[in-house]
A and B are shown apart, each in its own frame.
Chain A
Amino acid sequence: MKTQRELDLLVDISKLLKKYGPETFESLSELILNTEITEQLSQILIQSSKTARSIQKEKRETRAKQKISIPKLLIDLEKIEPEKYQLLMNFHTDLVEKKILTSLRDLKNFAMECGLPEIHSNSRQKALNPLINSLVKFPNEQLIQITQSLDKYDSSDRSLEKWSNIILKKDTS
């Protein structure tokens, strides 16, 4: 016996020996001693472990997405008003993926700006469906305007230094 690691392997082999019997072990021993095959086997195991992890992650994400349901009013629109459905579906997806109106406060302000009924939900996720439901009533043209008017405020440089340059007539170019 040389190392602890080798000892550990021996313990594991003994357990397998008990589980599968000495005959099975003997018939496989030639194969196991072939280094090329053990290397391939090791690669396959690493790869399958990675795949399993990625499948699990995908499943978790799908479950999370399924939790955010699409409002029924929106689903009903698909056949009646496909254009509006597409507009609102895109808007809904952007909301779900937090590309727009990233906080509950932003959602509430947006509703106020658009003259929509006040949002009383206390979480952003819960506020999404009531928001979409109120938007369903708008004509398409107005919906386009609403969705395009999400950020209309100037966020350019407002530093004191730049203002000083203008006020003191320093060259700002």
Chain B
Amino acid sequence: MAKKVSLINMKGGVGKSTLTVNLAWQFAGLRKWNKKVLVVDLDPQFNASQYLIGVSKYEEIVKKNIPTIWDVFEQHSHTPGKGKLKALAPESVLYNVVSYNDGSRIDLIPSCLELAYSMRNPGQKEVLLAKLISKIEEDYDLILLDCAPTESVLTTAAYLSSDYLLVPVKPEYLSSIGLPLLVRSMEEFIDGPYGDHDLKLAGVVFNATSEYSPEEITAKKEVKSIAKQNEWYIFKEEVSYSRSYPKGAREGKPIFKTSYARTSQASKFHAFAVEFAEKINL
């Protein structure tokens, strides 16, 4: 049974997609783990899809009408002139990014801009992703869901599809405000119709940290205080800022393969991946 983890924060630009993709590569690509990983891109901005497969392969998805996460949410919708759509075959929405000879691999459920329309017409769609994942999760060790930074039907869908939440926080003022917004979102979920769903918080990870900046120290202190109030775990290992992350996205490579990436940056990310794996019993 796969461990299902949503990377979520109600603030954009905290590095959710970069973390998602790099974690996927760590667990599938390193022989230490050799995991089968599924990345679910739940953000209409589709950054995780862009990072993982690049423009040529994404173009193929568009041209060949390969189903995306939009089709998962809209599989039962009526389309004028086309009648009711057929239920989506789970395997049709899985796009293989990389397969290793030992069986480990990364698959992707790609996203698209049209996903924003699903957010506007939420009607009962929040359960559809969890249903689809329940049919395929036996084939994976880890399922990572890269969430959009706004409260919507997609957030509920992510909660219902996950065992854990991983919250990346950039230690700066506006970014840390995303945290109380997330607390509110989780409380509303627990008080709502799906309150019996077992959802744990794996922890908060400080992302894109630098060193000795007074603003960063203040922000970390505030985040730690909120975490303490809510009994949230804060990962000891931090992911420090590195120009190699955006470079990796441009090159389609993980941090440990990015040209010119300092070994220390790659090692820091690896250390976080180890702590994260322990935390979710991967």
Contacts and interface: CB of A to CB of B under 8 A. Distances in A.
Interface stretch (B53-61, B130-138, B140-148, B194-202): B53-61
Interface size class of A (residues with CB under 8 A): 20 to 34
A162 B55 CA distance: 7
Nearest to A108: B263
A167 B54 contact: no
A144 B101 CA distance: 9
Contact of B100 (A109, A112, A152, A173): A152
Contact of B251 (A113, A158, A173): A158
Given A156-B57, A166-B58, A105 B50 contact: no
Contacts of B252: 153-156, 158
B31 interface: yes
B250 interface: yes
A145 interface: yes
B266 interface: yes
Interface size class of B (residues with CB under 8 A): 20 to 34
A157 interface: yes
Given A109-B256, A115-B31, A158-B250, A149 B100 contact: yes
Interface of A: 105, 108-109, 112-115, 142, 144-146, 148-149, 152-159, 162-163, 166-167, 172-173
22 contacts: A108-B263, A109-B266, A112-B270, A113-B29, A113-B256, A144-B101, A145-B101, A146-B31, A148-B101, A149-B100, A149-B101, A153-B98, A154-B54, A154-B252, A155-B251, A155-B252, A155-B253, A156-B54, A156-B55, A157-B56, A158-B54, A158-B250
Given A144-B101, A158-B54, A159-B55, 14 more contacts: A113-B29, A113-B31, A115-B30, A145-B102, A146-B31, A152-B98, A153-B98, A153-B253, A154-B57, A156-B55, A157-B55, A163-B50, A163-B55, A166-B62
